Structure 1
């Protein structure tokens, strides 16, 4: 017989939002732990001499492992307990974060980054799928947006690693945040619960065990999911390109110092991104009550603003105009982040949500890495960054066209209307 305490927790109006709050902290730690190493480069090189190629490989190997394992990690969340996958992922990557502080050679650092890619790959598909389990229809996009906001806070706090490395040592930050993560995973073991997975809450029918091959065949059997992959891949190219090259653009185009370019490219940018995921989630939840395509239209119209904004920013000679335009891009482009998982809920089988997002993560990592690499190739060929951002604007318009042709399942869409 099912534990009555779990039933009361899961049916509480308060608990679904508590789940979002709990996962916001995990999402913050997820990105903080992975980003710290990039902000303490000098301190690490003093302790463990290595070439720039080797240091770059530390991030690349994480991204490769993370991306390649994301589909399987998503399947584990669909097949087994989402909350246990989340807790296990947090515990393992926090332990690996702690172990990183014990590394004394490049090879040991490389191994810990690969292990972190394995463990962190399990988190986001499971977390977003669990949020979808608790937030149905009217609050889905806002709940997702709040969680993505936690991730963005973690990105923006990456500087803490460099600060702690300068004031203590490069190992200190990894030790501290490793211990914090391990402790928080123990707290989640007592507070984070699954909904009843034996029943499909959308249909009321029993759920049977699923296989990875069945999930892949089902997902790729629908054109809308394939279009979603194309959309996510294209928008990821732009996202990685802008994040990777925006500080350089500010520094070179407006003759700024490295520190000031960093402030404009991160502080202003991430603040607008945080506002964007919250606003995009709120607008989509409201619009979807009247229009079955509301969750698709909010990102679509957002990109219709983002594309000309980034185009104008690429050509202006006025710093304030560039800052405002890139902030406008950050605000409206992140409407997609708040709505991608809710969109998947409208076009895929509910049994395969985490797997579906894991496959999207795989494509995002592949094309995102290619986008950064292509930017470097173009720079070596003396292509101006202005031209790269103009290409990015064109890609965003292509994303608009792709999103236009994605259609929700009529039965799933009808459940969201008043």
Structure 2
């Protein structure tokens, strides 16, 4: 027993390290197309509406398939699903380089969304399998910090495309992902079923059961999950109402160029988020040793800290003060992200954890897409950006209230 536990602990952190790079590649591969707009439009003629449709079709296919991807991860080997998902979206990324028409590009972006839909539900659930109680939030936070790095590295697409054909970018990162999938085949493993657990006594052990409809019915039979879903969707709405129009705001308010505004807004926010994602997870794990609601409280605190940061950023007349507010927002806003999957472990039937993550993903994607469109419509109606930001801040306050009322489930799953 004594020799097995350290080995399992080391393997648990190895899983975090391996999945960090997958998360980084996941967002890098989805972002590079956006950063190469000019090069792609020169090679394949299309309207701006058609170019926007490339992202829309990705989000729709990704969102619709996320619950199914999560359910598959609940029924079969999570590590194998992660490897298959990485291989599939990386191969799709490579194939995108060989598209010669808009129709082919559209098909590959839809395929990208389908192939990525399995990853985050399976990865989040696999980390929860390995990490119990005192390390769950930190493990999840470190994993999601890869998303921040991948989002930032997405800008490499435009940089490389300025020096090489745009097809080279897709071939390069697609090939990297395929090779890494082969590496993971030998390194990424499910948690051994007979491994000792440090879970709280009485916590039910996950076991496959039912079908997708039964899984969704189980999730929505729990008021805590419904509150968590509403929280997650409203959090996306409030966040996108700020992030989506921040570069435009900096350009109009402070006279920054398009490039300066984009780099400034994303650089300061993602820089703060990279630290905040890990710090929020570490703090929640430490606090959870004394209180089972610590992860919820850390999420609430993060949201409440992010709220005044939005108000300062949207009303300050000095750019330096805005930048400080962006760092604070970037640091605090990821606190609930680092803790969301661990919170789900407390409120859903463990057999359907990945399905629960998939449903949350679907809701967040659809809400985010609708928010971006609604923001554009409001701008067309001459609504001031500051008004959008203030609405986002108000939305964060409602988010904090919703999360506060989430309670740990005491019910046990029905034996399959």
TM bucket (normalised to shorter chain) is over 0.9
In 2, the alpha carbon distance for the partners of 1:221 and 1:133 equals: 23
What does 1:44-59 correspond to in 2, within 5 Å?
44-59=40-55
Aligned to 1:167: 163
In 2, the alpha carbon distance for the partners of 1:31 and 1:10 equals: 32
Aligned to 2:399: 399
CA contact 1:125–1:357 (8 Å) conserved in 2: yes
Q: Which moved more, 1:238-247 or 1:217-226?
A: 238-247
Q: Which runs of 4+ in 1 moved over 6 A?
A: none
Alpha-carbon deviation of 1:8? 5.8
CA contact 1:199–1:205 (8 Å) conserved in 2: no
Aligned to 1:114: 110
SS of structure 1 residue aligned to 2:407 = coil
Aligned to 1:21: 17
Instruction: State the aligned residue count.
Output: 406
Distance 1:296 1:368, change over 3 A: same
In 1, the alpha carbon distance for the partners of 2:334 and 2:9 equals: 27
Aligned to 1:177: 173
Alpha-carbon deviation of 1:212? 1.2
Aligned to 1:357: 357
Out of 112, 123, 127, the residue aligned to residue 123 of structure 2 is 127
In 2, the alpha carbon distance for the partners of 1:186 and 1:10 equals: 27
**Are 1:137 and 2:133 counterparts?**
yes
Aligned to 2:89: 93
CA contact 2:79–2:122 (8 Å) conserved in 1: yes
SS of structure 2 residue aligned to 1:266 = helix
Aligned to 1:41: 37
Distance 1:9 1:287, change over 3 A: closer
Out of 186, 191, 205, the residue aligned to residue 187 of structure 2 is 191
Alpha-carbon deviation of 1:146? 0.3
CA contact 1:79–1:210 (8 Å) conserved in 2: no
Distance 1:404 1:149, change over 3 A: same
Query: Which consecutive residues of structure 1, in runs of 5 or more, have no partner in the other structure?
Result: 1-6, 413-418
In 1, the alpha carbon distance for the partners of 2:94 and 2:107 equals: 13
Aligned to 2:210: 210
Q: CA RMSD in A?
A: 1.8
Aligned to 2:152: 156
Alpha-carbon deviation of 1:196? 3.6
User: Deviations for 1:267-312, whole angstroms, at most 9, x for unmatched residues?
Assistant: 1110001111011001100111111110000010111111111012
Q: Which moved more, 1:185-194 or 1:324-333?
A: 324-333
Task: Provide TM-score, normalisation by structure 2.
Answer: 0.94
Task: Provide TM-score, normalisation by structure 1.
Answer: 0.94
Aligned to 1:265: 265
CA contact 2:74–2:208 (8 Å) conserved in 1: no
What does 1:338-357 correspond to in 2, within 5 Å?
338-357=338-357
What does 1:294-309 correspond to in 2, within 5 Å?
294-309=294-309
